[in-house]
C-alpha cells in the first residue's frame, strides 16, 4: 500500500482554475501571466495566489460557479484514479487550486479520491460575490507537509509515496516523495523529478514499472 498524490491544475487537469475564473472577470491575461511566473518559480507562490485572488474581487457567485463547472480532467485521468482506488492505493489531490473546481471535475467523471487538500475563495457576507481573498492549507505551497501527514495517516513511510506534479509549488512534495513524477514539468521543476511523463498513460506505465499497479 502507498499514497499517490496528484497536483491538479496542469497535472490531472489541463484547465487552470484561476484563468477560467479570470475569463469571467475580464482579467484572464493578467491571471495567466501571474500563474506562469509562479509555476516557473519566478515569484513566490503565495504572493502569486493572493495577487490572482485579488483580481477576482466582486466576481458574482453565479459566474464563479460557471467557471468551476468548466474544469475538466485530462484524458485518462479518471481511469487512472479509478484503477489506483481499485488496487487499494490511497489517492490524494494536493492543489493550490480550489476545492469547488476539483469536486466538479471529479463528479462529472464519476470518480473520487480519498483525500483532497485545497484552497478556497471566500464569498462576501451575503454570499453573492467573491471577496478577492483566498484561504486554505496550501496557500504557502506546503505540499510536503500535506503529503507527510497523509503518509502518517495511512501508516506508510514517506519514502514509499508517489507525487505527481508540474509546477514550482509541487517541488516540496516532489522532493520528499519516494517517487517524483513530473507531468510535463516546468523547466525549474524537471531536474527534481525521477521520471518525466506527458500523458496519464505514461504515468500509469511508470506506476506499473515501479510495482504500484499490475500491467494488464
Over its length of 216 residues, how does the chain's per-residue pLDDT go in tens digits? Answer: 799 999 999 999 998 898 899 999 999 899 889 988 888 889 888 899 999 999 999 999 999 999 999 999 999 999 999 999 999 999 999 999 999 999 999 999 999 999 999 999 999 999 999 999 999 999 886 899 999 999 999 999 999 999 999 999 999 999 999 999 999 999 999 999 999 999 999 999 999 999 999 986
Lookup: cell for 6: 496528484
Task: Output the pLDDT for position 171.
Answer: 95
CA-to-CA separations, 15 to 8, 22, 110, in angstroms, rounded = 9, 12, 18
Domain boundaries defined on the chain: 3-209
Task: Output the pLDDT for position 55.
Answer: 96
**Domain at 3-209, CATH from 3.40.50.720, 3.40.50.2000, 3.40.50.9100, 3.40.50.1000:** 3.40.50.1000
43 Cβ neighbours under 8 A, 6+ residues apart: 34, 37
Task: Output the pLDDT for position 172.
Answer: 95
Tell how strand 179-183 and strand 3-6 pair up.
unpaired
Task: Output the pLDDT for position 141.
Answer: 67
Task: Output the pLDDT for position 64.
Answer: 97
Backbone angles phi, psi at 180, to 5 degrees: -105, 110
Whole-prediction pTM value? 0.93
Catalytic residues: 7, 9
Amino acid at each position: 500500500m502507498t499514497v499517490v498524490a496528484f497536483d491538479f491544475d496542469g497535472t490531472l487537469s489541463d484547465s487552470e482554475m484561476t484563468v477560467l475564473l479570470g475569463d469571467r472577470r475580464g482579467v484572464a491575461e493578467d491571471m495567466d501571466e501571474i500563474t506562469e511566473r509562479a509555476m516557473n518559480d519566478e515569484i513566490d507562490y503565495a504572493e502569486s495566489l493572493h495577487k490572482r485572488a485579488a483580481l477576482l474581487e466582486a466576481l458574482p457567485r453565479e459566474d464563479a460557479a460557471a467557471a468551476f463547472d468548466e474544469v475538466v480532467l485530462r484524458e485518462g485521468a479518471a481511469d487512472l484514479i479509478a484503477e489506483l482506488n481499485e488496487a487499494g492505493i490511497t489517492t490524494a489531490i494536493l492543489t493550490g487550486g480550489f476545492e469547488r473546481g476539483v469536486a466538479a471535475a471529479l463528479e462529472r467523471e464519476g470518480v473520487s479520491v480519498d483525500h483532497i487538500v485545497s484552497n478556497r475563495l471566500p464569498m462576501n457576507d451575503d454570499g453573492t460575490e467573491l471577496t478577492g481573498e483566498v484561504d486554505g492549507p496550501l496557500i504557502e505551497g506546503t505540499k510536503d507537509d500535506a503529503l507527510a501527514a497523509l503518509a502518517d495517516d495511512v501508516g506508510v513511510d514517506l519514502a514509499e509515496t508517489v507525487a505527481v506534479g508540474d509546477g514550482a509549488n509541487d517541488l516540496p512534495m516532489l522532493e520528499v516523495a519516494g517517487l517524483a513524477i513530473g507531468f510535463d514539468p516546468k523547466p525549474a521543476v524537471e531536474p527534481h523529478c525521477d521520471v518525466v511523463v506527458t500523458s496519464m498513460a505514461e504515468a500509469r506505465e511508470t506506476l506499473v514499472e515501479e510495482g504500484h499497479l499490475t500491467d494488464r
